[in-house]
Amino acid sequence: MTSWKSYLFVTVQFLCLGLIALSGPAPSALGPLALVACGLLLGAWGVLAMRLSELSVLPDVRAGARLVEAGPYRLIRHPMYSSLLIACLGLILAAPLWWRWLLWAILLADLLLKLRYEEGLLLQAFPAYADYMRRTWRLLPFVF
């Protein structure tokens, strides 16, 4: 059963994503454009490794789910969250207004809380997840 926390995390996430995406111009400078492209490529790689049929925006573990350790999941436990943060950073750098930075900070906080909640659920569902956590980074290899 999906909890109210799952819906709250996803609602905040999509509000921030929508406001960031719709509130500024498309990036035209190389740096911001490269960040958006890297974020989108990482996200696509994560979807391919996860398989679209198993993908869910909710952090809850579905019945019959499997632990994915291929593709970007070999290094990063939450590459989809990383991809959102990287792509949104590129969008913000195209129009770096203070309130867009605030939205990115709220998105970051939301995703950190969501991943902590999700990891608790994954620890309960998969005995091997604790070992997987020791071998991988949360969002950014060699940093966090």
> Would you list the domain boundaries of the chain?
29-54+67-144
- Residue 83 — very low, low, confident or very high, per pLDDT cuts 50/70/90? very high
The residues near 64 (Cβ < 8 Å, ≥ 6 apart) are none
Looking up tokens 């929508």 gives: 18
Give CA separation, 48 vs 45, 54, 73, 137, in Å.
5, 10, 11, 19
Return the minimum-mean-pLDDT range out of 23-27, 86-90, 104-108. Answer: 23-27
Dihedral-angle region of residue 64 (phi above 0 means left; psi in -120 to 50 means alpha; beta otherwise): left
Total residue length of the chain: 144
Instruction: Quote the CA–CA distance of 87 and 37 in Å, as a whole number.
Output: 7
pLDDT at position 144 is 76
pLDDT at position 100 is 97
Instruction: Quote the CA–CA distance of 116 and 111 in Å, as a whole number.
Output: 8
For residue 128 the two structure tokens come to: 């091997």
Helix (H) or strand (E) holding 3: none
pLDDT at position 92 is 97
Mean of all residue pLDDT scores within the chain: 94
- Residue 37 — very low, low, confident or very high, per pLDDT cuts 50/70/90? very high
- Mean pLDDT value across residues 5-13: 96
Q: Global pTM? A: 0.93
